[in-house]
């Protein structure tokens, strides 16, 4: 099974994000069920590893995070636009949570995360046909994307089901964030 650890913004914030979805031909826009803030991608895991990960995450002590949406960005892959996203700030409390979750993943038997952590919510996946200049223009149009402050207080282990229509997500377990 394909797993990741994430936080889910509240409905009002997800609506703000959904309102920004559109206006770029060829983009595969996320729907409400897909909007989340990934803390740690796990990848393929068997049931034993998933159980170990649940035990490790269940003992994690971390505080809830007050955050807000701030701006938009673009990830590329091999020089081509790949993903449109909304930024989440402040970065440091989320990066600290990422480090704790990464340590929990390592204690469950996973290798440490190798990529730099960028707090964001993915808004769209971009296919090869998407024009790079149009994607850059979309990012420029949404640089002022913002939301009210919101609380992220529930860590969720998701299972991703990949299909022709995109990914669907199943909650495997969840834990309240509490003071360390």
101-146 pLDDT tens trace: 999 999 999 999 988 999 999 999 998 889 999 999 999 999 999 9
Question: Residues 24, 28, 31, 33: what is their CA dihedral angle, to the nearest 10 degrees?
Answer: -150
Query: Which range marks the domain in which residue 151 is found?
Result: 2-175
42 touches 3 (CB < 8 A): yes
Return the pLDDT at 164: 75
Residue 57 domain flag: yes
The C-alpha atoms of residue 73 and residue 138 are separated, in whole angstroms, by 9
Q: How many domains does the chain have?
A: 1
The C-alpha atoms of residue 60 and residue 155 are separated, in whole angstroms, by 10
Residue 43 domain flag: yes
The C-alpha atoms of residue 31 and residue 26 are separated, in whole angstroms, by 15
Residue 46 domain flag: yes
Residue 162 CA from chain centroid, whole number: 16
Residue 42 domain flag: yes
Residue 151 domain flag: yes
Residue 19 domain flag: yes
Return the pLDDT at 162: 85
Which tens digit of pLDDT belongs to each residue from 136-148? Answer: 999 999 999 999 9
CATH number at residue 141: 3.90.1140.10
Contacts of 92 (CB under 8 A, 6+ apart): none
Return the pLDDT at 180: 57
Residue 180 domain flag: no
**pLDDT beneath 70, residues of the chain:** 179-180
The C-alpha atoms of residue 122 and residue 72 are separated, in whole angstroms, by 10
Return the pLDDT at 155: 97
| pTM to 2 decimal places | 0.93
The C-alpha atoms of residue 112 and residue 96 are separated, in whole angstroms, by 15
């Amino acid at each position: 099974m394909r797993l990741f650890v994430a936080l889910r913004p509240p409905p009002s914030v997800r609506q703000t994000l959904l309102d920004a979805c559109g206006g770029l031909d060829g983009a595969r826009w996320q729907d409400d069920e897909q909007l989340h803030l990934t803390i740690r991608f796990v990848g393929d895991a068997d049931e034993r590893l998933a159980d170990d990960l649940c035990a490790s995450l269940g003992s994690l002590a971390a505080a809830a995070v007050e955050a807000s949406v701030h701006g938009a960005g673009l990830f590329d892959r091999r020089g081509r636009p790949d993903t449109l996203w909304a930024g989440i700030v402040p970065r440091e409390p989320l990066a600290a949570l990422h480090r704790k979750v990464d340590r929990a993943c390592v204690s469950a038997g996973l290798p440490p995360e190798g990529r730099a952590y960028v707090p964001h919510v993915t808004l769209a996946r971009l296919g090869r046909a998407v024009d790079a200049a149009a994607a850059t223009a979309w990012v420029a149009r949404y640089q002022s994307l913002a939301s009210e402050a919101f609380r992220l207080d529930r860590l969720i282990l998701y299972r991703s089901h990949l299909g022709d229509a995109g990914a669907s997500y199943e909650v495997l377990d969840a834990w309240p964030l509490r003071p360390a």
